[in-house]
């Protein structure tokens, strides 16, 4: 009989690629993770992982078991959801990991909505970028992630997650008022190829969106300044430090007196935002109202 708890460990090792990182995510010691993997190999009668200089990878037998693991864990999430619905209904805590703009634009309004429609649900929010929030869901550190599509993100059909689209918004060009293109109605990205750029740090999903948009326009942006805070990005542009692309909703409530904001000529780069939960958890009586509230608030953007 395979111990389900060891399947959680197998998936964490597959996700994080090292025993140390998987142990940190699961709040275990590396030795405990190694012991559980060894026990799982004994239970299955197969070698499941191979250790190398660059970390741990699954063997073919491990990949087979991982595919079944995703199905088993999703079914267990569904069982927990049905049992919770049967026993007590919607009362309890739900933890949401979301990036700062989404917290202000969607999560906080959803909390207000839930206080009236589902007062038994207690929301706890953690500020986290999409590349961090999705692993937090998979590692059971949070219940819901509000994230942005980015290069390397788990796809919408990932067997471990259920995606709920929320909203999509364009990036606008932010230029100093003294910029040579400040009087233009729209900004061709190719015309900014020689400008210094202000962008997000590598790893931030918006960094990927900006770099890919510039690459599609035929150039690699010269990132002279980096900040994950869009208010700081706008302030730097206003100080004539460079140009930037900023999601439209992130400009709301920001001091724009020293910059001009213009739409991008042609197909604008777009930030696509979604909520994600562990597959099978979407019908949990605590999580379903949260997803519905997030979706309702997103329609107003």
Domains of the chain and CATH, by start? 4-80 (1.10.10.10), 90-167+272-298 (3.40.190.10), 168-271 (3.40.190.10)
Residue 80: pLDDT band with limits 50, 70, 90: confident
Residue 83 pLDDT exceeds 80: no
What does DSSP assign to residue 187? B
CA 61-16-26 angle, 5° bins: 100
| pLDDT, average across residues 208-218 | 91
pLDDT value for 85: 62
Cα distance from N-terminal residue to C-terminal residue, the chain: 50
pTM, two decimals, is 0.71
pLDDT value for 248: 92
**Higher-confidence residue: 54 or 7?**
7
pLDDT value for 215: 93
Give me 52's structure tokens. Answer: 């190398």
Residue 88: pLDDT band with limits 50, 70, 90: low
| pLDDT, average across residues 79-91 | 71
Across 177-231, the runs of DSSP E, i.e. the strands, are 196-199, 222-226
pLDDT value for 252: 87
pLDDT value for 187: 95
pLDDT digits (tens, 9 = 90+) for 270-294: 989 999 999 999 988 899 999 999 9
pLDDT digits (tens, 9 = 90+) for 219-255: 999 999 999 999 999 999 999 999 999 999 889 889 9
Mean pLDDT rounded to a whole number for the chain: 90
pLDDT value for 152: 75
CA 252-262-99 angle, 5° bins: 35
pLDDT value for 89: 61
| pLDDT, average across residues 90-112 | 92
Q: Pick the closest to residue 265 from 299, 301, 216 (CA basis).
A: 216
Measured on CA atoms in the order 148, 7, 92, 82, is the torsion positive or negative?
positive
Q: What are phi and psi of 278, to 5 degrees?
A: -60, 135
Residue 108 pLDDT exceeds 90: yes
pLDDT value for 22: 87
Q: Pick the closest to residue 265 from 221, 222, 215, 213 (CA basis).
A: 213
**Higher-confidence residue: 17 or 54?**
17
């Amino acid at each position: 009989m395979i111990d389900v708890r060891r399947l959680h460990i197998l998936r964490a090792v597959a996700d994080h690629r090292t025993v140390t990182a998987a142990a940190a995510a699961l709040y275990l010691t590396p030795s405990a993770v190694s012991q559980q993997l060894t026990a799982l190999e004994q239970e299955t009668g197969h070698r499941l992982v191979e250790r190398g200089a660059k970390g741990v990878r699954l063997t073919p037998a491990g990949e087979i078991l991982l595919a079944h693991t995703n199905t088993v864990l999703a079914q267990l999430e569904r069982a927990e959801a049905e049992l919770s619905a049967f026993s007590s209904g919607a009362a309890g805590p739900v933890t949401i990991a979301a990036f700062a703009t989404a917290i202000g634009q969607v999560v906080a309004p959803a909390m207000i909505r839930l206080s009236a429609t589902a007062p038994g649900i207690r929301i706890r929010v953690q500020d986290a970028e999409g590349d961090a929030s999705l692993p937090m869901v998979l590692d059971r550190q949070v219940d819901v992630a509000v994230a942005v599509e980015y290069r390397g993100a788990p796809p919408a059909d990932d067997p471990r997650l259920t995606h709920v689209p929320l909203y999509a918004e364009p990036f606008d060009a932010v230029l100093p008022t003294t910029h040579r293109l400040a009087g233009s109605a729209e900004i061709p990205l190719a015309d900014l190829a020689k400008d210094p750029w202000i962008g997000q740090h590598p790893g931030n999903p918006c960094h990927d969106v900006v770099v890919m948009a510039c690459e599609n326009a035929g150039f690699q942006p010269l990132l002279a300044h980096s900040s994950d805070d869009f208010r700081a990005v706008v302030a730097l542009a206003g100080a004539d430090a460079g140009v930037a692309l900023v999601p439209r909703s992130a400009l709301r409530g920001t001091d724009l007196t020293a910059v001009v904001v213009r739409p991008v000529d042609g197909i604008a780069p777009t930030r696509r935002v979604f909520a994600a939960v562990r597959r099978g958890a979407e019908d949990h009586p605590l999580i379903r109202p949260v997803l519905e509230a997030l979706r309702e608030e997103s329609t107003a953007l």
